[in-house]
Chains A and B, each alone.
Chain A
Amino acid sequence: MPASEFKSNGVPKIGVYVCHCGINISAKVNIDEVVTFAKTLPNVVVAREYKFMCSDPGQQLIQKDIKEHEINRVVVASCSPLMHEPTFRRTTAEAGQNPFFFQMANIREHVSWVTADGTKATEKAKALIAGAVRRVVLHEALEQKRVSVKSDVMVVGGGISGIHAALTMANSGKTVYLVEREPTIGGHMAKFDKTFPTLDCSACILTPKMTDVRSHPNIKMMTYSEVQSVNGFVGNFDVEVRRKASYVDNSLCNGCGECTKICPVNVRSEFDEGMSMRKAIYRAFPQAVPNAFTISRKGTPPCQSMCNIHQNAQGYVTLVARGKYPEAMEVILRENPLPSVCGRVCTHPCTVACTRAKIDEPINVPGLKRFVADWAVEKRLDYHLPRPKTERQERVAIVGAGPAGLMCAYELRKMGYQAEIFEAQPVAGGMLAVGIPDFRLPKGTLVGEIRKLEEIGVKINLNSPVGQDGLTLKRLHEMYHAVFIGVGAHVERKMKIPGENLGSVWGGVEFLRRVNLGERVRLGRRVLVIGGGNSAIDAARTALRLGAPEVHIIYRRTRAEMPADPDEIREAEKEGIQFDFLTAPKAIHGDRWVTSAEFLKMKLGAPDESWRPRPVPIPGSEFVMPCDDMIVTIGQESDLRFLGNGMSLESTKWGTIVADPLTLETSVKGIFAGGDCVNGPEIVVTAMAAGKKAAISIHRYLNNLNMFVGREQEGAFESNIVTDTEGYLVKKRVPLPAIALDRRQGFEEVHLGYSEEMAKEEASRCLACAECCDCELCQTVCEPKAIDYTMKDSVEKVQVGAIVLATGFKAFDAERIPRYGYLKYPNVFTSLEIERMVNASGPTGGQVSLRSGEKPKSVGIIHCVGSRDETTNKYCSRVCCMYSLKLAHLIKERTGGNVYNFYIDMRTPGKGYEEFYDRLLEEGVHMIRGRVAEVTDWVMTPEEEGKLVIRAEDTLIGVVRRIPVDMVVLSVGLEPRPDADDVRRLFNISCSQEGWFLERHPKLAPVSTFTDGIFLAGACQGPKDIPDCVAQAGAAAAEAMALIDRGYVQLEPNTAFINEDVCSGCKTCIVLCPYKAIAFNLKEGISQVNEALCKGCGTCVAACPSGAAQQHLFTDEQIYEEVEGVLSYV
């Protein structure tokens, strides 16, 4: 369509300028042919060629033609528009043209440099020029928008690059936000001892800069923080920074370090590359900036999360390891008033989840809990359960003094409520008291712990069965503000076979109750116990202790299916109890007393609902076994008769009470129930959990709070902590001592507790999964009261004009090359580990030593580990040669031993680097040219004995050599950070193939990115040594300030616009715009573009059905013309 229809500058007169670019273009493209061709194109009035169009004479050529030949459209065929479009736009503008009557044809990057054949190249160049010429005809005069720029800047990453960039900009008066992920700035450089080639001490030159950062008025440090989102565009970035909770208030912390002294948790020190331990509350190193402490808390450890009442197991285990028993006791009592009970009879779900099991065996958590509890008793430690801070008047009745009831009472008291327990038995403790025999749980301990509960005001009425003589549930419901029912399950189920009611046929529960309550129970010669649960074992072992010479446990499945605790089964066996498996009773014979029983043999069939194989009777396999007593322990149920009249409390057909699983509230408001009487027979800790849950519900009920919200994490749940179990030595569980078999006649407790030494040793196996163990000791010693466990992550929003990325690198993981033996042979180290070793403040205080502690007599340093290697990284990491030489020097200096360097090439490009290399040669460091094949402990000669042998080809003398050494150092290369890809997405920049951040131009824009306003500094852009990092940081700072000090940015005028006459108001464009730049004008019934918001992607334009939406510089017509142009071959 004719140009006159466009807002234009008259009839198009085009000048075409073809650039030789030295010989870069002309070597392939026949320039003259192209120029002649250009002249033939419509509207072209002049066509010229020149050696360098971008040079001043080149540009003047254009300006001259604009003046003399009244050229009003310009096409330059040269390099990529990304390179010189701005240059030539300026050229035309200076000649008084609107700069947008200009188009570039990229005949270098897209033609001469990529096309082998000259004629083809020339042809392609013509086509592109034709396209540009056709297109430029339709260009229009455009205005560039100016947007003001925010004056603050952000630097991401607090290594040497970030520090230098931040200081540079701060010194020129900019406000700088320095964001660092770790608790301290300093980065890798802070870990080094000396720096090559000058050998000046890293700390001495870095720490002053770090303190400058701290004290600089213009720098706002955001340590232990991460950028979470970046919005906006050049000059106006809105950045959200997540400040991770350090649980220490930096403004209060005075850095005295008392907290670390008392902290009982030891974890591997990241700063020392895992070669030393740090505390859970720590400061990476003494000169850290900010000089504050951080608590590393990873969440709820598996042991605690899997415990139904969330006992802080890691807490007290850790404290035991440090011999802090009273503190341990205090930690236990926070959640559990019955430590010695749980320490003995809990089936410890905590140990099932223990991470240590991945290495050898789980920690014996209950054993340690018991140790603490017993220790407290022995040492007459007069401990007290926590008393309520404020008393409350509401009274709660609790039916049953079992674990559920006691726990409920405890939790209620902690909150200040008045808890009163009604117990039918003459003793408190429920099954703990009457169900479990003394040899497993001595009554003394139980009584003691119940007394402590009474001590804090829990009222216990014994011999007070609810449902009798006036004390009905109904009355309790009226008299008290709330009621909790935890009556347990104390009735033995019947087998429903003939003869069950004969004398000396016992229900297990009843049998154990009588014994426990001290009745004299006589048994005959042969006692048969029916069942396979813990109570069967208890009953059998009790019978044995009552003097029965022959006790059988008769179970209808096999040992594998027995529900009883395997340890208990083993003990029972040791004690001489006989097991008859796959056997079930059919009838019991006798007149008044049982004399014999008839049994059926069973075989295992298909699994039943309990997922255990169902026992199937074998027809005709009946047999009779004479016996004097039979104890039936096939499971218990609750006696719910007491619910009685007037109360409409629902119960199930299995004889359990119906209660809401989330709140434990029954069908009657204000009455709650939990434990065995709701779930059927379970273990101690689940009953206690129910009591705790009920207490929480009752609290909410009494205060009219929502009873349902936020209760998901009550009871056991999966911990999300992952713990690295690499490199720990196998150290099996310390066995719990037991008394000799010949001492087991009486009811003496079978398992003795740990001795102090045993306990400490066992506890020291803990891996501290959560790091901080919440013992809260540090708070007790922190004078400025800086520690705050309730601290939460927070998000800070800042607005900046430019961002400098200095996120650094990650050292190559040497384990990825197994043939070099890292983590296989103890004396193979990485260069970073040696950096820490030679550092005076490092784990060995500057001594270079083997794991055994002795000095190495010979050390081999292997270069290019993870560099220049097809299988890992192809690139050269640039710093390894030099730091290897530095380490060689330091090792030689510290050990006086022989040092061998195995290198591919020596790369010493830098001021004083080659000289340093010479110096080392003079010092007598051996240099062997050749990539190492392997590090092995295969020795061939006596002198190789006990050493590591490095096998490598010496390519200078052309032989394969075996060098025996004491220590091997792997000079690991540099790699992009593992999360580099997420980071680049965050900042909308690109990565190179290897994952380094991509600069805008490798030569001319090395610190800029393709996203305006984002700059790069240091090793995040590629491997660099310290001098280069600092230089680049300075450059990045300068670029950022150049942008900011201009005060504004000019936006490319390639925004979208809508032809109001054509717009049909279909709104298609509005939903497509990612920047909400298009609004609907109701009055006109059309869409309108807000140019300030439009970023010029053109998505709306492509989608507009009516063609009303168009994009400046990229109108449909312009593109059609260009397409036709490039296709119209000569």
Chain B
Amino acid sequence: MSYLYYPGCSLKGTGKAYEESLLAVFQALELPVQELEDWNCCGATAYMAVDELRAFALAARNLSLAEQQNKDSGTKTVNLIAPCNACYLVLMKTQHYIAEYDEIRRKIDTALEAAQLRYDGRVVIRHPLDVLVNDVRLEEIATHVRSPLTGLRVACYYGCQIVRPYAAFDDQDNPSSMDRLLRVLGAEVVNWPFKTRCCGGSLTGTIREVGLRLNQIILKEARKRGADVIATACPLCQFNLECFQTDIKKQFGEDLSLPVLYFTQLLGKAFGLSEKSLGLQRLFVPLELAAIEQKGGARASV
């Protein structure tokens, strides 16, 4: 199976490391991915709030491009990977509304026509987690593990958008795909209630104290549950949780520093890929595996 890849703005900016690690991992798995040509902004949550219909049209353009680009592949359905949770949700929602409401479909069709485009609804929007767990499958992934993450305690943080409201590939209340994936890598998954708890989204930029508070809660609980690292599947979550740790320390007077990685970076690490290819050098809070292994040893002896 071949995949189209929709980076969205984040993976070219703050989430660069996500893109780097994702592509590196897919390459290691010999998974053919091709970036969607001439893609545009998904509109994100912001535009949806301002003008839903325009937002739909904007997102629909990407879907129609995907169909076009897939034209000569011969396959009927088009697998479009959207790694950013926001993109994933917006595209899903658009897809959903087009299928559900003729009214909206008609309007979007006319909008696309204006740009000599059409959309037949053949795109399947996929999250990398979904692809890895359900297409590649864990058995296969296990065979690529070169340096297992033994002793590493991970708090899997899915974010709010990939299972809500559309639980396309995982359980809505208690998703487990990332947990299962990381266990295969030899990591230990901490059991915590915050898998899909809100990271505040853009609140860190708008109502700062609230945004910080929300992230403080998550970081604190992760440390409390003995996590060595938080694994995320969303650039915004990663950004919020990692970049405000110093501010949080100032605000709440306790040090909650904790590495926050993309799950793809951990995957790459287990595959034995180079730091650089996984964009690990971009981390503000680096992950010292060696130290953790000792800790792990110590933990074991306790």
Contact = CB atoms under 8 A, between A and B. Distances in A.
Q: In their complex, do chains A and B touch, with some C-beta pair under 8 Å?
A: yes
B13 interface: no
A566 interface: no
A938 B173 contact: no
B18 interface: no
Contact of B221 (A818, A934, A938): A938
A819 interface: yes
A937 B173 contact: no
B154 to A, nearest CB: 18
A40 B69 CA distance: 72
Which residue, B173, B192, B193, has most C-beta atoms of chain A within 10 A? B193
B294 interface: no
Contacts of B173: 818-819
Contacts of B174: 818
Nearest to B191: A937
Nearest to A818: B173
A1022 B192 CA distance: 40
Nearest to B218: A938
Interface in A798-841: 818-819
Contacts of B193: 934, 936-938
B231 to A, nearest CB: 19
Contacts of B192: 938
Contacts of B194: 938
A818 B194 CA distance: 14
Interface in B203-227: 217, 221
A361 B173 CA distance: 29
Of the four ranges (under 10, 10 to 19, 20 to 34, 35 or more), the interface on chain A belongs to: under 10
Interface in A916-936: 934, 936
A940 B193 CA distance: 13
A631 to B, nearest CB: 36
Interface string A541-581: 00000000000000000000000000000000000000000
A212 B142 CA distance: 67
A989 to B, nearest CB: 35
A940 B217 CA distance: 9
Contacts of A819: 173
Nearest to B194: A938
Contacts of B221: 938
Contacts of A938: 192-194, 221
Contacts of A937: 193
Nearest to B174: A818
Interface string A932-950: 0010111010000000000
B197 to A, nearest CB: 9
B191 to A, nearest CB: 9
Interface in B147-179: 173-174
B96 to A, nearest CB: 18
B298 to A, nearest CB: 24
A606 B221 CA distance: 54
A216 to B, nearest CB: 50
Nearest to B172: A818
A10 to B, nearest CB: 59
A936 B195 CA distance: 12
Contacts of A818: 173-174
A712 to B, nearest CB: 37
Interface string A701-725: 0000000000000000000000000
Interface in B255-280: none
A1072 to B, nearest CB: 41
A784 to B, nearest CB: 53
A243 to B, nearest CB: 43
A818 B192 CA distance: 14
A270 B178 CA distance: 37
Nearest to B220: A940
A936 to B, nearest CB: 5
A231 B194 CA distance: 57
Interface string A114-133: 00000000000000000000
A936 B192 CA distance: 9
Interface in A930-983: 934, 936-938, 940
A934 B193 CA distance: 10
Interface in A30-53: none
B224 to A, nearest CB: 8
A102 B51 CA distance: 61
Which residue, A818, A819, A937, A938, has most C-beta atoms of chain B within 10 A? A938
Interface in B89-148: none
A934 B173 CA distance: 11
Contacts of A936: 193
Nearest to A935: B193
B58 to A, nearest CB: 30
B170 to A, nearest CB: 13
Nearest to A821: B193
A936 B194 CA distance: 10
A937 B174 CA distance: 14
B268 to A, nearest CB: 30
Contacts of A940: 217
A819 B174 CA distance: 9
A819 B192 CA distance: 13
A937 B221 CA distance: 10
A66 B191 CA distance: 84
B220 to A, nearest CB: 8
Nearest to A817: B173
A562 B174 CA distance: 41
Contacts of A934: 193
A482 B173 CA distance: 68
A531 B217 CA distance: 63
Interface string B177-195: 0000000000000001110
A936 B193 CA distance: 7
Interface string A459-490: 00000000000000000000000000000000
A180 B194 CA distance: 47
Interface string B13-25: 0000000000000
A181 to B, nearest CB: 33
Nearest to B221: A938
Nearest to B171: A818
10 contacts: A818-B173, A818-B174, A934-B193, A936-B193, A937-B193, A938-B192, A938-B193, A938-B194, A938-B221, A940-B217
Interface of A: 818-819, 934, 936-938, 940
Report, nearest first, the 10 A-B pairs whose CB atoms are least far apart.
Answer: A818-B173, A936-B193, A938-B193, A938-B221, A818-B174, A819-B173, A937-B193, A938-B194, A938-B192, A940-B217
Given A819-B173, A938-B193, A938-B194, 8 more contacts: A818-B173, A818-B174, A934-B193, A936-B193, A937-B193, A938-B192, A938-B221, A940-B217
